[in-house]
Amino acid sequence: MNRNQITLIKTTARKLRKQSTDAEKIFWEAVRNRKVKGRKFQRQYPIRFEFEDVERFFVADFCCFECKLVIEIDGSIHERQKDYDKLRTFIINHLGYKVLRFNNE
């Protein structure tokens, strides 16, 4: 992965952290600083993968590496991108993570 790609990943993750929804903020307060069984969660964390010989990434809302768990809190846009979300979940599962999705409401 080159410098431009790394910069894009960092910029995207930072932007998403600044634009957190109320539901994401509430969840983050509940899990940050190892509040859930001593497990460390990270928010807006990039998950890299390779597809068709190109390195790509998704930004997971929340990720716990110790549990191999990704938590997605889906807003209204996800009603319009169900196929994309299915593909994204499939790829993240293939990388060894379980994905839990919750509605933003």
Provide the pLDDT for residue 59: 92
Which has the closest alpha carbon to 103: 34, 37, 21?
Answer: 21
Provide the pLDDT for residue 74: 79
- Mind giving me the DSSP string for 14-31? HHHHHT--HHHHHHHHHH
pTM, two decimal places: 0.85
| H/E stretch holding 101 | strand 98-103
Question: At residue 78, does pLDDT exceed 60?
Answer: no
Provide the pLDDT for residue 23: 93
In angstroms, rounded to a whole number, what is the distance separating the alpha carbons of residues 74 and 37? Answer: 24
Provide the pLDDT for residue 70: 97
Provide the pLDDT for residue 35: 97
